[in-house]
């Protein structure tokens, strides 16, 4: 079985694959500092809680945008799962060509999403990831990463509201009954959710216009992507497991070169 690990700015998301089928997925916070032993015990416990025997994990792949957790996390994988993890980094085979001036600036998470979207849905495809930041990445029909747009994520915007204003409370991010809000909480929810919908639709339209890709497919992922997907007809697919699937595909492309499998 393969363990895929996506280390984001807010959460670490794990996916367990039995062949091409995902058998389990779970998360832990990435901002909490942990030792390798703490990571190892948490991972084995979460695997067990999901009915997975940690001894059946014979491959691990990690993509991370948080360098500070990597030493402890990789040490935990080696010690507790007896696997040398494959790391998504420059030089790894992805099948995606970076056609931007500075390829090393593109985050591992965005490359992984691009691989998942292009392999599953073809190109041209615009990948939207509603995470800590909201990203929009364009991959053309030849599998080239052409351009990327980065905007504050919904949670990031919400946090700015309640942390930088004295009287606005912390709220649940959800679509209110109406945009015509008549109380503080629903007015914040309306601004956040409808604002994100408007931004999303405008950026999709502008990318389609400037690229000339009238047949461009639009695929969304990320924790809050489902909320936006349900409110617009400009997103074709919401694929919750896109990043984990991209990691699985990259592992398959490189596993013969990886010496860490059991």
Per-residue pLDDT tens for 191-248? 999 999 999 999 999 999 999 999 999 999 998 899 999 999 999 999 999 999 999 9
The whole-number pLDDT of residue 261 equals 52
The whole-chain average pLDDT of the chain stands at 92
The whole-number pLDDT of residue 259 equals 52
The whole-number pLDDT of residue 123 equals 94
φ and ψ at 234, to 5 degrees? -90, -10
242-254 vs 108-121: helix crossing angle, rounded to 10: 90
Q: What digits encode the pLDDT tens for the residues 145-197?
A: 999 999 999 988 988 888 888 778 888 888 899 999 999 999 999 999 999 99
pLDDT of 262 > 60? The answer is no
Query: Would you call 109 a catalytic residue per the annotation?
Result: yes
Could you state, in order of their start, the residue ranges of all structural domains in the chain?
2-87, 97-246
Q: What digits encode the pLDDT tens for the residues 95-116?
A: 999 988 888 888 999 999 999 9
What gap in Å lies between CA 28 and CA 210, rounded to an integer? 39
| CATH number for the domain running over 2-87 | 3.30.420.40
Of 32 and 260, the one with more pLDDT: 32
Is 73 within 8 Å of 39 (Cβ atoms)?
yes
**DSSP assignments along the chain, one per residue:** -EEEEEE-SSEEEEEEEETTEEEEEEEEESSS---HHHHHHHHHHHHHHTT--GGG--EEEEEES-GGGHHHHHHHHHHHH----EE--TTS--S-EE-SS-GGGS-HHHHHHHHHHHHHH-SSEEEEEESSEEEEEEE-TTSEEEEEEEEE-HHHHHHHHHHHSSSPPP------S-SS--SHHHHHHHHHHHHHHHHHHHHHHHHHHHH--TT-EEEEESTTHHHHHTT-SS--EE-TTHHHHHHHHHHHHHGGG-S---
What gap in Å lies between CA 24 and CA 46, rounded to an integer? 10
| CATH number for the domain running over 97-246 | 3.30.420.40
Domains 2-87 and 97-246 share a fold: yes
The whole-number pLDDT of residue 224 equals 87
The active-site residue out of 109, 129, 137, 239 is 109
pTM of the model: 0.90
């Amino acid at each position: 079985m393969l363990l895929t690990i996506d280390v984001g700015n807010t959460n670490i998301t794990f996916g367990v694959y039995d062949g091409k089928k995902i058998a389990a997925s779970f998360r832990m916070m990435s901002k909490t500092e942990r030792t390798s032993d703490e990571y190892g015990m948490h991972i084995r416990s979460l695997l067990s809680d999901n009915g997975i025997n940690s001894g059946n994990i014979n491959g691990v792949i990690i993509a991370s945008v948080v360098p500070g957790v990597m030493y402890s996390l990789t040490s935990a994988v080696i010690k507790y799962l007896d696997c040398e993890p494959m790391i998504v980094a420059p030089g790894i085979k992805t099948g995606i060509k970076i056609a931007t001036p500075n390829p090393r600036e593109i985050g591992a998470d965005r490359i992984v999403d691009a691989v998942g979207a292009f392999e599953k849905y073809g190109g041209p495809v615009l990948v939207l990831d509603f995470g800590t930041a909201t990203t929009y990445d364009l991959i053309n029909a030849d599998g080239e990463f052409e351009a990327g747009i980065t905007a504050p994520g919904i949670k990031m915007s919400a946090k700015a509201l309640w942390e930088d204003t004295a009287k606005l409370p912390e709220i649940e991010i959800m679509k209110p009954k109406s945009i015509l809000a008549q109380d503080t909480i629903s007015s914040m929810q309306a601004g956040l959710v409808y604002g994100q919908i408007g931004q999303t639709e405008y950026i999709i339209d502008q990318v389609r216009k400037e690229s000339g890709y009238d047949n461009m497919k639009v695929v969304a992922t990320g924790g809050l992507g489902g909320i936006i997907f349900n409110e617009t007809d400009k997103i074709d697919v919401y694929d919750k497991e896109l990043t984990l699937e991209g990691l699985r595909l990259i592992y398959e492309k490189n596993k013969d070169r990886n010496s860490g499998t059991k």
